[in-house]
Amino acid sequence: MNEERGLQEVKKKRVRLVVAYDGTNYHGWQIQKNGITIESELNHTLSELLREPIQVIGASRTDSGVHALGNIAVFDTVNPMPAEKISYALNARLPEDIRIQKSEQVAEDWHPRYCESKKTYEYRIYRGEFPMPVKRLYSLFTYHSLDVQKMQAAAAYLVGEHDFKSFCQVGAQVESTVRTLYTAEVEEQGADVVIRVCGNGFLYNMVRIIAGTLMEVGQGKRAPEEMQDILAACNRQVAGPTAPAHGLMLMKYEFL
Amino acid sequence: MNEERGLQEVKKKRVRLVVAYDGTNYHGWQIQKNGITIESELNHTLSELLREPIQVIGASRTDSGVHALGNIAVFDTVNPMPAEKISYALNARLPEDIRIQKSEQVAEDWHPRYCESKKTYEYRIYRGEFPMPVKRLYSLFTYHSLDVQKMQAAAAYLVGEHDFKSFCQVGAQVESTVRTLYTAEVEEQGADVVIRVCGNGFLYNMVRIIAGTLMEVGQGKRAPEEMQDILAACNRQVAGPTAPAHGLMLMKYEFL
């Protein structure tokens, strides 16, 4: 029997995680020399749990302070623990600001960055005379009034396939700055204004630059039609400022 | 001229504050020997700002971990700073998890606990398979399913004038345990269930015991009609458990 076991092939499997986190206390997703990141917490905790060195691959390397309801990570393991059980075991060991929402086995060659997907982000703005403490970690405070209808009209110009170079941080290394937005909506939720974008991919800081630009439209500093000129310019200088990280939330990934 | 100023009567005024806070990092409202409280932060910051010893009187002495959008505090000062400006000056000095929403002058004898008022509280529950990090500070997580209609039916029994002794923590010193609830609603907001109660006053831990009892109804452990028996018993042992503090939010005070 020992012999049989020895001859048995070690079965490697690929596991996909849906990862939710409060980004407040992390230096973003990607491993860094200084500071704890979501990736380093996952690698460390998975390696302990599965008793082998684990390195996850993340779908979206969110910035410091950005939150997620459903980022995606994959890793390979030879540990026989059923993929579906890993979420429970992992959540028992992770800090409470990171929680795995789902774990499941996927094809051995499945890679979160080399497959078609729809990503949804929300950027949340809270309008008031003064900041509201219980909202401070998950929304951008503004005392400016915002014309939500104008913001909606401006957002509509972004829908479709465009070169989003004007909405990409300078210096980002990408082959192409063309992306497709399926939807771009601006919604009032009480005192909050929520910008929701869904697309096949997002450039570095793209949602935050869209948010910063739409806020200028909402404040009357730009006309909604200017979005066409900003897109056509292919020049980061022409768009608005990059809105701060803490208002941004990666909502979900859908794989096509 | 100096003489004139010397003869001028020192004008004392009473100022009312609407106070919002994230209770996560505080040992509740009331000053304690060990640990920072909302009251101690306000006294300390106001005394520095107005250059005289200030002691606020709070309307609701919320427990450790409970949040507020609109608690009320009053204090007297001889400082000539206009009451309306105090909110701005105070917010510039307070930690970011406390923010004054409004400051205004009130009558010299106005007292937040000796006047008729309507108070609104919300208790928030998040239902999911796993906790959601960005919701963990402001809602109670449960993996149980909850029958919201049954919870609504149960809450309706609480509306009106009742002896709420069964919903009051044992040992609380109060003259009477009779209170009036104007409304008691249970609302679904996506994956959240929100219990909203509005009344003329609340006993110690009353909203949290109501929430704990309604959750038992939602889980099918009790029938909605049992609320009548619980009220009639006037016995804390008969009601459900006290739900944890962090799901509770003091929404607003309305003075009649």
The enclosing domain of B89 has a CATH number of 3.30.70.580
In-domain check, residue A176: yes
Strand duo A248-255 + A67-77: pairing? parallel
In-domain check, residue B198: yes
Partner A contacted by B74 (CB < 8 A): no
Helix (H, G, I), strand (E, B) or coil at B251: strand
* Domains identified in chain B, total number: 2
Is the CB of A98 less than 8 angstroms away from the CB of B69? no
Give the pTM.
0.93
Closest-approach residue (CA) in chain A for B87? A130
Partner A contacted by B69 (CB < 8 A): yes
Both A142 and A97 in one domain: the answer is no
What does pLDDT average to over chain B?
A: 95
Mean pLDDT for B24-42 is 94
In-domain check, residue A178: yes
Chain B neighbors of A20, CB-CB under 8 A: 130, 132-134
Mean pLDDT for B80-100 is 98
Is the CB of B134 less than 8 angstroms away from the CB of A91? no
Both B41 and B161 in one domain: the answer is no
Closest CB to A134 among B22, B100, B128: B22
Both B212 and B97 in one domain: the answer is no
Q: Which of B58, B84, B106 is the last residue of a domain?
A: B106
Both A251 and A126 in one domain: the answer is yes
Which segments of chain A have a pLDDT < 50?
1-3
Residue holding tokens 């928030």? Answer: B124
Which of B134, B248, B250 best tests the A interface by mutation, with the highest count of A CBs <10 A? Answer: B134
Closest-approach residue (CA) in chain A for B250? A134
Is the CB of A134 less than 8 angstroms away from the CB of B69? yes
pLDDT at B9: 65
What residues of A are annotated to the active site? 63
Mean pLDDT for B79-98 is 98
pLDDT at A115: 86
Helix (H, G, I), strand (E, B) or coil at B246: helix
Q: How far is CA B44 from CA A2, A85, A134, B60, B93, in A?
A: 72, 51, 22, 19, 10
Both A76 and A183 in one domain: the answer is no
At B251, which amino acid appears? M
Is the CB of A99 less than 8 angstroms away from the CB of B133? yes
Both A86 and A180 in one domain: the answer is no
Q: Which of A106, A140, A166 is the last residue of a domain?
A: A106
Q: Are A63 and A28 in contact (CB under 8 A)?
A: yes
In-domain check, residue B143: yes
| % pLDDT > 70, chain B | 96
In-domain check, residue B247: yes
Both B164 and B76 in one domain: the answer is no
pLDDT at B8: 57
pLDDT tens profile B196-245: 999 999 999 999 999 999 999 999 999 999 999 999 999 999 999 999 99
Both B36 and B153 in one domain: the answer is no
Is the CB of A133 less than 8 angstroms away from the CB of B20? yes
Chain A neighbors of B99, CB-CB under 8 A: 130-133
Which of A130, A132, A141, A250 best tests the B interface by mutation, with the highest count of B CBs <10 A? Answer: A130
Q: With a cut of 70, say whether residue B53 has pLDDT above it.
A: yes
| Residue B227, H or E segment | helix B226-233
In-domain check, residue B1: no
**Residue closest to A72 by CA, chosen among A80, A81, A60, A63:** A60
Both B101 and B127 in one domain: the answer is no
* Number of C-beta neighbours around residue B220 at 10 A: 12
What's the domain range around A236? Answer: 117-255
Chain A neighbors of B131, CB-CB under 8 A: 91, 96, 99
CATH of the domain at B216: 3.30.70.660
CA dist B163 and A160 (Å) reads: 61
Which of B88, B99, B127 best tests the A interface by mutation, with the highest count of A CBs <10 A? Answer: B99
Both B128 and B207 in one domain: the answer is yes
Cβ-count burial of A71 within 10 angstroms (0-12 exposed, 13-18 middle, 19+ buried)?
buried
Partner B contacted by A192 (CB < 8 A): no
pLDDT tens profile B165-201: 999 999 888 889 999 999 999 999 999 999 999 999 9
| Residue A215, H or E segment | helix A206-218
Q: What does the block give as tokens for B192?
A: 């959240």
Q: Which of B106, B130, B159 is the last residue of a domain?
A: B106
Chain A neighbors of B136, CB-CB under 8 A: 22, 96-97
pLDDT at A8: 57
Q: Are A193 and A186 in contact (CB under 8 A)?
A: yes
Q: With a cut of 70, say whether residue B7 has pLDDT above it.
A: no
Both B127 and B210 in one domain: the answer is yes
Is the CB of B131 less than 8 angstroms away from the CB of A97? no
Q: Are A178 and A200 in contact (CB under 8 A)?
A: no
pLDDT tens profile B150-166: 999 999 999 999 999 99
Partner A contacted by B120 (CB < 8 A): no
pLDDT at B115: 86
Both B76 and B141 in one domain: the answer is no
- What percentage of chain A's residues is helix, strand, coil (to nearest 5)? 30, 30, 40
CA dist B37 and B33 (Å) reads: 10
Q: Return the half-sphere exposure (C-beta side, CA atoms, 13 A cut-off) of residue B244.
A: 14
- What percentage of chain B's residues is helix, strand, coil (to nearest 5)? 30, 30, 40
In-domain check, residue B166: yes
* Number of C-beta neighbours around residue A113 at 10 A: 13
Torsion angles phi and psi, residue B9, rounded to 5: -70, 135
In-domain check, residue A111: no
Q: What is the DSSP letter of B63?
A: P
pLDDT at A6: 52
